[in-house]
Amino acid sequence: MTDPLTGRVLVVDDEVDLAELVAEYLRKAGLDVEVRHDGTDAVAAVREYAPDVLVLDLGLPGIDGIEVCRQVRTFSDCHVLMLTARDDEVDKIVGLSVGADDYVTKPFSPRELVARVQAMLRRARTRPAPTPPPAGRAQELVIGDLVVDEAAREVRVGGESVALTRIEFDLLAALATHTQMVLSRRQLVEIVWDTRWTGDEHLVDVHIGRIRKKLGDEAASPKFIHTIRGIGFRMGTGE
């Protein structure tokens, strides 16, 4: 029997009743929960409360969820689960592009949301600190002038350090440890998120896009990450 998950969750939604309902479900799951209803308060609460997971509504008054996420990402690497009332792919992609890790469209099942939060916390618990790679595998993975240091969880391109989020690093490391192999979106989801994760697998594409931008890797003429149409992605310097 596994130990129950623990962690801090900040729920931010201007619909007071919904926020309290979500918070109650999370508390019943054994989590420490704080609630805010305003974007400005949300940013301050992330600084003070230091949540492991931020459940963030997109359509907040004043500072909306996109801007909250953008500001939070300047000082926190907490997991961000975005809530949106609009079933609009543009909103979802924009939200993810500023650092959200996942999204849920309203109306949603509170139990589903709790399951998503728990999946994020499982990732955090399984990676509490940098760990050496298995025996026989190099600590530094080198692809051209890209270096992925698994032990230090650092990335360098041409000797220059590149700052990646946890998910971005884990995606890049997954591809780098399977150089020249094509990994499907589902395989990457299972490696980086969780085998029980049931969200939109095209979430992977958004994060890959962010990684490419940070590495200076153009999708049209990639140096490192190659898109294999209809299948997934491959890491390597060749065509």
Residues 200-237: tens digit of each pLDDT: 677 788 889 989 999 999 888 899 999 998 889 999 87
Residue 103 φ then ψ, to 5°: -145, 155
Domain 140-235 grouped into CATH 1.10.10.10: yes
Confidence band, pLDDT 50/70/90 cuts, at residue 196:
low
Of the candidate ranges 27-36, 39-48, 165-174, the one whose mean pLDDT is the lowest:
165-174
Instruction: Name the residue ranges covered by the structural domains of the chain.
Output: 8-126, 140-235
**CATH class of the region 8-126:** alpha beta
Helices 89-97 + 65-72 axis angle, to 10: 20
Stated pTM of the model: 0.68
- Predicted confidence at residue 195, as pLDDT, reads 60
More reliable by pLDDT, 97 or 218: 218
- Return the pLDDT at 119: 87
Q: Residue 127: pLDDT band by 50, 70, 90 thresholds?
A: very low
Q: How confident is the model at residue 129 (pLDDT cuts 50, 70, 90)?
A: very low
Look at residue 13 in the predicted model and tell me its pLDDT.
Answer: 95
pLDDT in tens, 70-90: 899 888 889 999 998 876 766
Are 122 and 129 in contact by the 8 Å Cβ rule? The answer is no
Q: Distance between CA atoms of 73 and 65, rounded to whole angstroms?
A: 12
Quick check: 90 and 44 in contact, CB under 8 A? no
Contact between residue 224 and residue 237 where contact means Cβ atoms under 8 Å apart = yes
| Bridge partners, residue 8, by sequence | 32
pLDDT at 51: 94
Contact present, 174 and 127 (Cβ < 8 Å): no
